[in-house]
Structure 1
Amino acid sequence: MSGHHDDGHTVAGWAGFAVATTGAAVTGLGICGWHPGIWVGLALMAAALLVTWVLHLVGWGKPPGPRPVDQRSMGVRDLSARHGHAGCLGCRLAGRRGVQVRAGAAAVPAPEAAGADVSS
C-alpha cells in the first residue's frame, strides 16, 4: 500500500462492511429457498448504512481524503467529527456544516458548528 493513500481502514468502515456482508449472505439464503431471508438480508444491508453513518458521526470514521500518517491507525478516533467534515455527505445529512478552509489559511469551524450565535 502506498503511503499516499488512506482509503477506509476505520472502525466505521469495517463494521459497516461486516453487517452488509452478513446481509448479502442472508439475502442469498433467501434467494436459494429460505424466503424470509430476502427481507431479513435487505434489512441488514440497510442497517449497515446506519451503523456506518452513526460510527462516522461519533468519530470512528474519517473525513474525505487522506489523513496525516499518525492518524491512519484504525484505533485513532477522529475528534474533528463533532463539528463535521468539509465535503462530507454523511456530516451534511446530520446537519453538521464542517470546516471552511481557504488556501493558505488555518481551518476555521463554521459558525453554526462552533455553536456561535448566527441570528444577526
Structure 2
Amino acid sequence: MSAHQYDEGHTVAGWTGFGIATVGSTVAGVGVCTVSALLIGIGLGIVVVSVLVTWALHLTGWGKPPGRRDRAQWGMRVRDPSARAGHAGCVGCRLAGRGRARVVEEYAVVPRESARVSETAG
C-alpha cells in the first residue's frame, strides 16, 4: 500500500452528518407518504441541521481535507491538526473565512477640496 490514502468522508464529521441527514430524509419521506406538509418541513429542517453540524465538526478538526493524507491521519477518530488554518480548496473553510490569504489593499485618500480645484483648473 502507498504512503498516502484517499478516504474522503471517513471522518466523524462525515458519518455524523450522514446519520442526521438519513433521519431527516426518512422523516421527509414519511411526510410524502402520509401527505403531511408538516413532516416534510421537519424532515427538510433536519437535513439542514445535518449540514450545519457537519460543517461545525469539520471546522473543529473532526473532518479532513480532500485528497491524500499521511498514514498518521488515516484513522477516523484522528483530529486534523491543520483545520484551524483552513484547507486549500475546501469550500467549507472558505465560507468560514479560512484557508486563503487575506489581501489588504491600500488606497490613497484625496480630500474633496483638492479634487474640486483640479477639476475646475482643467
- Pick the structure with greater CA Rg: 2
TM-score under structure 2 length normalisation: 0.76
Runs (4 or more) in structure 1 with deviation over 6 Å come to: none
Measure how far apart 1:97 and its partner are.
2.4
Count, aligned residues:
102
CA separation in 1, counterparts of 2:99 and 2:9?
22
Structure with more relative contact order (C-alpha pairs < 8 Å, separation 6 or more): 2
Deviation of 1:6 (Å): 1.4
Q: Secondary structure at the match of 2:6?
A: coil
Which structure 1 residue ranges, 5 or more long, are not aligned? 99-109, 113-117
Q: Structure 1 length normalisation: TM-score? A: 0.77
Residue 81 of structure 1 corresponds to which residue in structure 2?
83
SS in 2 for 1:67: strand
Distance between the aligned counterparts of 1:119 and 1:76, measured in 2?
39
Q: How does 1:1-120 map to 2 (within 5 A)?
A: 4-33=5-34, 35=36, 36-98=38-100, 110=101, 112=102
- The separation in 2 between residues aligned to 1:52 and 1:95, in whole angstroms, is 17
- Between the aligned partners of 2:88 and 2:8, the Cα distance in structure 1 is 17
Equivalent position SS for 1:80: coil
Q: What is the CA-CA distance between 1:79 and the residue it aligns to?
A: 1.4
Unaligned runs of 5+ residues in structure 2 are: 107-122
Q: Report how far residue 5 of structure 1 moved.
A: 2.4
Give the CA RMSD over aligned residues. Answer: 1.9
Identity within the alignment, %: 57
Shift, 1:73, TM fit? 0.5
Aligned equivalent of 1:115: none
Alpha-carbon contact 2:13-2:54 (below 8 Å) kept? yes
Q: Distance in 2 between matches of 1:7 and 1:58?
A: 17
Counterpart contact for 2:27–2:43, Cα < 8 Å:
yes
CA distance in 2, matches of 1:5, 1:63: 10
